[in-house]
Amino acid sequence: MSSTNTLSAGFTDPVNQAQRAFRRVLTALSRPGLRQSIGSPVSGIGLQPAMAHLLLTLTDDDTPVWWQHQDAITTQWLRFHTSASTTNVMNEATFGVITAAATMPALDSFPPGSGASPEFSTTLLIEVPSLDDGPLIEWRGPGILDTHGARIAGLPATFWTQWQANHAMFPQGVDVLFCCQDQVIGLPRTTRVRRLEGV
């Protein structure tokens, strides 16, 4: 049996599922903190449903992916379905896949884009254990009416300090999509944060 035949499925209805997921990603990034449900489980790979559907939707042959924990089955699955290549160099990544948030690299390890082309930055897709149980962080900025309180669990202790530095680089900087099971929350570089607990 060929390796192609043993790969896990992607979208069952590629056009409609990709379009629906892409609209929800846009909503997540334009309305920071607003949860979006993206995708059902994909069997045979070690990714939560939201992460799998984000990768199927966002990547292609022009978007190198850096994996925190590279797995041959998963990288082959993604390459088969979207033609996305894998890079071992963080500075070359269009997308960074983080599956162990507590030990993720520093945000400034990834390219923030340039002053002339801030769009050439990395988008980090970060799986977290919960969107409800972390320290209370106040979010402000475009797409947020007044303030939003977020409780993302499982991040490094320095993550929000790093985020403040990332935001200060605007228009450069990385963007983040937090994934937990089938849920996604967007954190674009335009969002300011302030820790309200444990200061």
Q: Give the model confidence (pLDDT) of 110-143 as tens digits.
A: 999 999 999 999 999 999 999 999 999 999 999 9
Report field, pTM of the whole predicted structure over 0.85: yes
Which CATH number applies to 11-195?
Answer: 3.40.50.11310
Domain map (residue ranges) of the chain: 11-195
Q: Which of 24-28, 62-66, 146-150, 195-199 has the lowest mean pLDDT?
A: 195-199
Q: Are strands 192-195 and 65-67 parallel, antiparallel or unpaired?
A: unpaired
Specify the pLDDT at position 11. 67
Per the CB < 8 A criterion, the answer to whether 21 and 39 are in contact is: yes
Residues sharing a CB contact under 8 Å with residue 11, sequence separation 6 or more, in sequence order: 17, 18, 56, 81
Q: Give the model confidence (pLDDT) of 10-46 as tens digits.
A: 666 667 777 888 899 999 999 999 999 987 877 778 8
